[in-house]
Amino acid sequence: MHTSSRLLLSRLACAIALTLGGTACGSPPPAASAVSASAAAAASAAAPAPAVPADSATLMRQIQAELADNGCDSERQCHTIAIGAKACGGPEAYRAWSDRHNDGGRLKQLAAQHAAARRAEDLRDRMMSTCSYVSDPGATCQAGHCVPRPLTVGAPPLAQ
């Protein structure tokens, strides 16, 4: 075996060991490790604690508050947003919202956080789902409010 091949295999083995075992190949000398450890401890003490992620129920209440003002003057103001996450993937549902008074930025952020929280809860609780696909129904303006369009079985998808 060539020297370059051996070096490549050695580096690959080291990378695998780092990934699986969390140990370093060719660790720094003890003095350097002590300095690194104390520097890391000081940095973590100075850094703010990471924010505790909200649970999905709290996020859902915030989403519902954002969805409360769903008034519309025309269908162009109505949109849908995916809510939640199924254990097999994809959203749990779609909700209608209006851009008449805002661009939906906060709603989109909350929906993404909620989906991440649901995925984490499903993983933690070892949840399973039916793996059924939930279609985006689109939204329409009805009686001055954005509402999801009714789903029709066998109808072709709506052009977006």
3-state helix, strand, coil in the chain (%, to 5): 45, 15, 40
The pLDDT of residue 158: 54
Distance CA 56, CA 71 (A): 26
Q: Is 140 exposed, middle or buried (0-12, 13-18, 19+ CB in 10 A)?
A: middle
Beta-bridge partners for 71: 145
Beta-bridge partners for 148: 139
Distance CA 77, CA 130 (A): 33
Query: In sequence order, which ranges of the chain are alpha helices (DSSP H)?
Result: 3-21, 30-46, 56-67, 105-125
Helix axis angle, 56-67 to 105-125, nearest 10°: 150
Q: What is the token pair recorded at 103? A: 């661009």
The pLDDT of residue 156: 54
- Return phi, psi of residue 95, to 5°: -125, 150
Residues of the chain with pLDDT under 70: 1-53, 152-160
- Return phi, psi of residue 72, to 5°: -145, 155
The pLDDT of residue 155: 52
The pLDDT of residue 154: 58
The pLDDT of residue 128: 82
Model pTM score: 0.60
The pLDDT of residue 87: 85
